[in-house]
């Protein structure tokens, strides 16, 4: 699994699970008589905190910021399912897989991946469903996931004059392939999925261009060529689910360009490079512990922010391997705005693209990719499997603010077997660091990454 070093785009995806002793049937919540738009452009496990007071969830006591996988999977209502915690826990799990084979800059949209797979999960059954729930912290009760996802999508797309933030979903269906009406209804109702008929069999290149054009339009032309040559298999591909997310926000307090200077940056203890580094001194939300410091940079509107996490030692590989959602939440809980912080932050701009199938299989989502065991009977009566999950992302951080985009595609094929005033603090990011873009309203980590070596064109 490799990340191509260029520009980052591709939005990644959200959330699922079931009630104890009683699985709610999604068929009871939507009418199959819904009118569907065929034009996608037409609107239609592993973390624990120990320093937080315990709270009760579904009868079990757990820490406030800890994800209890059993309670999460068996959540029987939107009120008892914390989709933000589910998404964020998956974010750290996926990040830990991505960094194993990638020693360069990293950037992903956990939300995009989570959401794209959530749409696929709505049609999963049996062990396929259970494994997906375990990996993504989905509730077994699909209606709970759908309703929770709908609320998050509505919040993200609520609009603001202060920033741009939008997410979109689409289903690209082989024109002679029948999807179950309930699955379409759920995709439209819960995920605002736009349904489009394409011809993978006879016009795979035209279909690929159509999907890529949609992704580009939804990401302000930042995510290009999400579906590469060879991803569509004319003989087998029947459905591609896509999620895109785009963000463009100005800092609440912009960095003065006149203060930007070339400064030394140390990708490792034994290496030094020169990087365009921004500087400011102002009161900011700041926190620290014995391992790292954290700084919040809010965007205009104060609905979103970037958190910078800088290890105390220049050992990013050791730090990121052990850094968990628990540690992240604990660092955030230590933050205080009473400090005037001298801040040095290198400008950075890059893109990554990766295929996630191997990572998802290693995380335990095995059957969904298997010809014999994949069960997506909620999507179609035909035997289907996931053939690939592709994710691409782009980020640009400079004096004015941040632009970020991401997209995720879940490619679903017919199984081949079927046919075959305190003291001034200093935050000097002069060595590798992690960063997160979080929706403060929902608590969801929308993007996360690390800067191993800053690049800016």
**Lowest mean per-residue pLDDT among 7-11, 89-93, 183-187:** 7-11
Residue 382, CA distances (Å) to 101, 208, 210, 379 in order: 36, 23, 25, 8
257-282 residue pLDDT tens: 999 999 999 998 889 999 999 999 99
Q: Note the pLDDT of residue 433.
A: 87
pLDDT attached to residue 58? 32
Q: What percent of the chain has pLDDT over 70?
A: 84
Q: Which residues contact 158 (CB under 8 A, 6 or more apart)?
A: none
**Taking the model in full, what pTM does it have?**
0.81
Q: For the segment 275-318, what is each residue's pLDDT rounded down to a tens digit?
A: 999 999 999 999 999 999 999 999 999 999 999 999 999 999 99
| Selected residue with higher pLDDT from 83 and 456 | 83
Q: 257-349+422-451 sits in which CATH class? A: mainly beta
> What pLDDT does residue 70 have?
75
CATH 3.30.497.10 spans which residues of the chain?
Answer: 26-250+350-419
| Mean of pLDDT values over 200-208 | 96
Start-to-end Cα distance in the chain: 26
Given this model, what pLDDT does residue 425 score? 86
Residues 211 and 224 sit within 8 Å (Cβ to Cβ): no
H, E, C per residue of 193-207: CEEEEECCCCCHHHH
pLDDT tens digits, 354-410: 999 999 999 999 999 999 999 999 999 999 999 999 999 999 999 999 999 999 999
* pLDDT surpasses 70 at 73: yes
Q: What is the mean pLDDT of residues 3-27?
A: 33
Q: Which top CATH class is 26-250+350-419? A: alpha beta
Mean pLDDT computed over every residue of the chain: 85
Q: Is 377 exposed, middle or buried (0-12, 13-18, 19+ CB in 10 A)?
A: middle
* pLDDT digit string, tens, across residues 34-71: 333 344 443 334 333 223 233 333 333 334 445 677 78
Specify the domain boundaries for CATH 2.30.39.10 within the chain.
Answer: 257-349+422-451
């Amino acid at each position: 699994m490799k990340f191509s070093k260029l520009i980052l785009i591709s939005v990644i995806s959200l959330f699922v699970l079931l009630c104890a002793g009683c699985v709610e049937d999604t068929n009871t919540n939507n009418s199959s008589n819904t009118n569907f738009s065929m034009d996608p452009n037409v609107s239609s496990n592993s973390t624990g905190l120990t320093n937080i007071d315990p709270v009760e969830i579904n009868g079990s006591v757990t820490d406030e910021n800890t994800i209890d996988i059993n309670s999460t999977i068996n959540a029987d209502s939107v009120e008892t399912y914390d989709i933000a915690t589910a998404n964020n826990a998956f974010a750290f799990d996926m990040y830990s897989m991505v960094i194993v084979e990638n020693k360069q800059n990293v950037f992903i949209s956990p939300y995009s991946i989570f959401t794209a797979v959530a749409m696929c999960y709505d049609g999963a059954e049996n062990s396929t469903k259970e494994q997906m729930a375990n990996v993504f912290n989905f509730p077994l009760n699909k209606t709970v996931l759908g309703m929770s996802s709908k609320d998050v999508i509505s919040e993200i797309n609520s609009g603001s004059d202060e920033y741009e933030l939008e997410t979109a979903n689409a289903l690209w269906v082989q024109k002679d392939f029948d999807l179950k009406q309930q699955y379409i209804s759920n995709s439209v109702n819960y995920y605002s999925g736009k349904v489009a008929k394409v011809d993978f069999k006879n016009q795979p290149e035209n279909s690929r261009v159509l999907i890529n054009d949609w992704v580009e339009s939804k990401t302000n032309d930042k995510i290009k060529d999400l579906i590469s040559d060879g991803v569509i298999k004319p003989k087998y591909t029947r459905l591609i689910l896509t999620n895109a997310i785009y963000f463009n926000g100005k800092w609440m307090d912009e960095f003065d360009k006149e203060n930007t200077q070339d400064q030394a940056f140390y990708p490792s203890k034994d290496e030094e490079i020169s990087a365009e580094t921004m500087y400011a001194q102002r009161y900011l939300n700041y926190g620290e512990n014995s391992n790292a410091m954290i700084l919040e940079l809010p965007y205009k509107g104060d609905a979103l922010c970037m958190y910078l996490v800088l290890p105390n030692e220049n050992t990013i590989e050791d730090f990121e391997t052990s850094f968990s959602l628990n540690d992240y939440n604990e660092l955030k809980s230590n933050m205080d705005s009473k400090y005037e912080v001298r801040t040095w932050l290198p400008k950075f701009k890059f893109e990554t693209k990766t295929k996630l199938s191997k990572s998802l299989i290693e995380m335990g989502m095995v059957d969904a990719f298997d010809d014999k065991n994949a069960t997506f009977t909620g999507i179609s009566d035909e035997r289907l499997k996931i053939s690939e999950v592709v994710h691409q992302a782009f980020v640009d951080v400079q004096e004015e603010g941040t632009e970020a985009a991401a997209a995720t595609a879940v490619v679903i094929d017919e199984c081949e077997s079927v046919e075959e005033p305190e003291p001034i603090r200093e935050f000097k990011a002069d060595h590798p660091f992690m960063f997160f873009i979080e929706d403060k309203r929902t608590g969801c980590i929308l993007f996360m990454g690390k800067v191993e070596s800053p690049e800016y064109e």
